[in-house]
Structure 1
Amino acid sequence: MSHTLAIASIEEITHNVRQLTFEKPEGFEFTPGQAAEVGIDKDGWRDAGNPFTFTALPEWDELQFTIKVYPSHDGLTEQIGKMKVGDSFIVGDPWGTIEYKGKGTFIAGGAGVTPFIAILRMLKERGELSGHRLIFANKREADIILRDEFDAMPGLEVVYVLSEEKKNGFEHGRIDKPMLERLIGNTDQQFYVCGPDDMVESINDALRQIGADPDGLVFEE
């Protein structure tokens, strides 16, 4: 079942990330980490079917998506970058395999952090962030999504990795086996991984090599 939902507000999060909120339909349910297929209520785009993750919490009165916009791409996110308050999304039913399964480390690349936003917000509301870690890779410091919010989460350890800038206070390079060995230590925990497919594959391989339980890897399959 799909829902046509008008945009209630738009917030610029970074130079190319927008946070859009919508009134939540009555009875609409999802769990933190889930996504939905989304189209735009506009000729040619209603069946676009791109997946976006809910970044609101289930108990909120509104739905929210945090979306990276690619103005140079001739695609859905380029169209989303042009949308205004009052324009409408077509939102399908929730789905997804990323869900919270216990204490551990979240590893994200760019917009791959979006499934973790609602999970971390949920843990914050519960007072259960202590002992969790977020390793968040981006090209540049300006690309980091919701940095202020992550930094303010009590008990959450956050490590930022930049591939195209060298700056004090940031890891530099790409998340690989040596970096994971240095940052993680104990592999007896859950690992949540989301980002580009090749990144997810290489990180999962590295985690297995350093002793992580394959059954403890949570990613979109």
Structure 2
Amino acid sequence: MNAHACLNASEFLPAMRGRQWAPTTRQAVHCLRVIDETDDVKTFVFTSPMDRMFCFSAGQYVLVHLNINAHAVTRSYSVSSPPTRPLDLQITVKRTLGGFVSNWLHDNLSVGDEIEIEGPLGSFNLEDLQYERPLFLSGGSGITPVMSMLRALTDRADDREIRFIHSAKTPADIIFRSELDALAARFPNVQVTCVCSQADIAWTGPTGRIDSEMLLSLVPDLQKRVVFACGPETYMKAARACLDAIGLAPSQYHQESFGGSSPRVELTSTITSSVRFVRSGISHICSTGETLLDAARQSGVYVPTACQQGVCGTCRIAKLSGEVAMDDLGGLTPEEKSANYVLACCSRPKGAVLLDL
């Protein structure tokens, strides 16, 4: 019999809260299962060895801490499972060419292995954002956070008119394809469309790349919807350009970026740049092109970091004074930018910079 079966109503909720996973702390988890989604995508299912429940908002991510060849590495991965199923936590990882961590996970992480995760993190989620009449747009492995959102909404039998458009290279590359088909068949308020840039004659769905005309044909009431988008940098730029052309208000658009690297900002100035870590009492003269993260590592100042692409926001630091060239991929909210936060991984000082660190 379940340990909680004999609890009365007044005892049940406190007992459940006692099993909750402590948020924003580093936790050990066990790999329960590895699922092959496509030829180059796997889902890793984790459980807590302390029999705790995972608490997060649909769309958030966790930091995965690994020790590879005696080197400590950290990467951010969106949670693909929904918070409505709190007994396990899943991340879905695409193997990328030259991807140090993704290749290690695919080749080495097995059932029964223990790793550490930290989180949940991220403002791209259903709890912090309004989502009446949602439209989910995803490209490639960017499907993971919006799939968490879709699963959460359908688990709750939410009756909103949900539209989901996913772009993939070929039909074989569509992640969660059978589940997407099943959800659309089960819930009449859910409409799922997959778009392939390359397809054979057996494919009956849309072919090509999304554009304004395609989006409006699939979602005629798009201008009345709230859009949640996630995908590689090139996909995100294309999607945002389409939505801008349609006239979608910025307040109706939320995004999370996956993969790719932002272009390096060319610094041609001969001005000597320096970084002063005020609370640490350390100053550093920067080499040309050096990031704030580089400067911190050279100075022995610890800065937490994960994606190192300006996406996750883990390495944000308050800038007290000075200017930086920051080529981020959406890792800071407009409010954080207004408060003079910068991302250490993709910010390069322009002259003297003081940091609250």
Q: TM-score, normalised by structure 1?
A: 0.91
Residue 220 of structure 2 is aligned to residue 185 of structure 1: yes
Deviations 1:126-156 (A, max 9, x none): 1125511111100010011111111111131
Q: Using a 3 Å threshold, how does the CA distance of structure 1 residues 190 and 46 change in structure 2: closer, same or farther?
A: same
Alignment of 1:148-163 (within 5 A): 148-153=178-183, 154-155=187-188, 156-163=190-197
Residue 216 of structure 2 is aligned to residue 196 of structure 1: no
C-alpha distance in structure 1 between counterparts of 2:70 and 2:197, whole Å:
36
Contact 2:45/2:90 (8 A) holds in 1: yes
Question: Which structure's CA Rg is the greater one?
Answer: 2
Alignment of 1:39-58 (within 5 A): 39-47=65-73, 49-58=74-83
SS of residue matched to 2:111? coil
Contact 1:41/1:90 (8 A) holds in 2: no
SS of residue matched to 2:147? helix
Percent identical across equivalent pairs? 26
Aligned residue identity for 1:11: I
Aligned length: 219
Task: Indicate the residue corresponding to 2:198 in structure 1.
Answer: 164
Which residue of 125, 130, 146 maps to 2:155? 125
Task: Indicate the residue corresponding to 2:63 in structure 1.
Answer: 37
C-alpha distance in structure 1 between counterparts of 2:179 and 2:252, whole Å:
27
Q: Highest relative contact order (Cα 8 Å, sep 6+), 1 or 2? A: 1
Q: Displaced runs of 4+ in structure 1, greater than 4 A?
A: none
Contact 2:55/2:86 (8 A) holds in 1: no
Unaligned runs of 5+ in 1: none
Q: Using a 3 Å threshold, how does the CA distance of structure 1 residues 169 and 3 change in structure 2: closer, same or farther?
A: same
Task: Indicate the residue corresponding to 1:93 in structure 2.
Answer: 119
Alignment of 1:54-133 (within 5 A): 54-58=79-83, 59-70=85-96, 72-82=97-107, 83-100=109-126, 101-102=130-131, 103-128=133-158, 130-133=160-163
SS of residue matched to 2:224? coil
Contact 2:163/2:192 (8 A) holds in 1: yes
C-alpha distance in structure 2 between counterparts of 1:74 and 1:68, whole Å:
9
When structure 1 is superposed on structure 2, of 144-153 and 172-181 the one drifting more is: 172-181
